Chains A and B, each alone.
Chain A
Amino acid sequence: MPSLKDIKTQINSVGSTKKITSAMKMVAASKLRRSQEKAEAARPYSSRLEEMLSSLASSAASGEGIIKLLTGTGNDQNYVVVPVSADRGLCGGFNSSINRETFKLVKSLEGNGKKVQLMPVGKKSRDFFNRVMKDQIIESFVDLNVSSTGYESALNISNKLQELYFEGKFDKCILVFNKFKSAISQEVTQQQLIPLDVSNSEKEEEKENSSNAIYDYEPDEETILKDLLPKNVSIQIFKVLLESDAGEQGARMAAMDNATRNAGEMIDSLTLKYNRTRQAFITKELIEIISGAESI
């Protein structure tokens, strides 16, 4: 049976854990608000760019050079998978679900005879894939801090990807990230980044096109498209980074909220145990005194 002092120490330690988790929850909540604002602010740019792109996409039937970002290389043998995780833990299943999903994707692609390379973003996925498939990592990006450095961080990733793409190192690039659904739920999503997947945005555009007159292009459609495509890759990455950042804060908030609640419950049951034990000691001592007095 644990002594009273043992239980007291345990209650204290759980109490201080509770303080930490509830502070982390508060921090995550305020960071979440900031990340959401950032994601909100980036929306007009990316939606405009997508609109422009989908109205231009049809004009590029086939092509060389930059247009390849849209039309593809004609092969689908070599893949690059980019898992986007957080740099820090203590956010529930946020990182592990990304890693699990990516791992599954890589295995299934390899099962189909494709060659897969990895380009993890964030410490947690880098560390994970360093353990399980180290030789497939071509590059990793950590400590991005997208909410403070902003667009620059996305540019680095995008430049690296495009450099490799034009060297012919891969044919397709898939992002795996946590889509921000609400403050408490994230959804692991796969998005094909290169070649660009315009199929879903095109449908929306068809509706709009019917009301919009046709644009003049300056200098011409192809030149614009050449400028537009690399930027689009960067902005897609930027969007994903922001979304993942907001998701991370949301996941951490939920995880810390749970931890705080659990600590509270634990303290309650420990306090009960403490009181019972103390009562038992008192009773025992009383019995000893009484039986001692009787025997005299």
Chain B
Amino acid sequence: MATISFDLVSPENLIFNDDVGTIIVPGKDGDLGVLPGHSQVMSSLRPGRVMVYSEDKNLVKSFFVSGGFAEINPEKCIVLAESVVELNSLDKSSIEKEIEELGIKESKESEEQLSIAKAKLEAITVSFYDKI
């Protein structure tokens, strides 16, 4: 089976760069499953999970991104994200606390952070496939 090259880039560094089988990216209007030979798409992203699967369909890495952009062409998929964390480094109780604190404040910024934090919580609670 063919592979597609995948780059996950944050402003501070290049986080992931390898040839993989499938990537699931959280597009603004819904998740995109990217396989080798995908058509050329440029999409903006919502806060959510980026799941990376190997050629034999096993989960390799999972990240949480707080939004960004994806540029996809048949050979390559590039995700530009402002903040990237590995999914398994997220801690449920600390996120819940964050949501609570942000809920009290009422400003445009905290609203945005709140929606990101909520997406974070969703990302770790909603189940996903280890193998597809």
Chain A interface residues (CB < 8 Å from chain B): 38, 41-42, 44-46, 48-49, 52, 150-151, 154, 159, 212-219, 223-224, 227-228, 231, 234-235, 238
CB of B106 within 8 Å of the partner chain = no
Q: Which residues of A contact B29 (CB under 8 A)?
A: 218-219
Q: Which residues of A contact B73 (CB under 8 A)?
A: 212-213
Number of B residues contacting the other chain (C-beta, 8 Å)? 26
Q: Which residues of B contact A46 (CB under 8 A)?
A: 11
For the complex, what is the distance from the CA of A231 to the CA of B12, rounded to whole Å? 14
Chain B, 35-62, contact with A by CB distance < 8 Å: what is the 0/1 string?
0000111111000000000000000000
Q: Is the CB of B78 within 8 A of A48?
A: yes
Q: Is the CB of A216 within 8 A of B42?
A: yes
Distance of A160 from chain B, by nearest CB (Å): 12
Distance of B31 from chain A, by nearest CB (Å): 12
Chain B, 1-34, contact with A by CB distance < 8 Å: what is the 0/1 string?
0000001011111100000000000011100100
Q: Is the CB of B28 within 8 A of A49?
A: no
Distance of B109 from chain A, by nearest CB (Å): 8
Chain A to chain B contacts (Cβ below 8 Å), 28 pairs? A42-B12, A44-B9, A44-B14, A45-B9, A45-B10, A48-B9, A48-B80, A52-B42, A52-B69, A150-B11, A151-B82, A159-B109, A213-B73, A215-B41, A215-B42, A216-B42, A217-B41, A217-B43, A218-B29, A218-B32, A219-B28, A219-B29, A219-B43, A224-B43, A224-B69, A227-B44, A231-B82, A235-B11
Q: Is the CB of A217 within 8 A of B42?
A: yes
Contact among A44, A218, A235 with B44 in the assembled complex (CB-CB below 8 Å):
A218
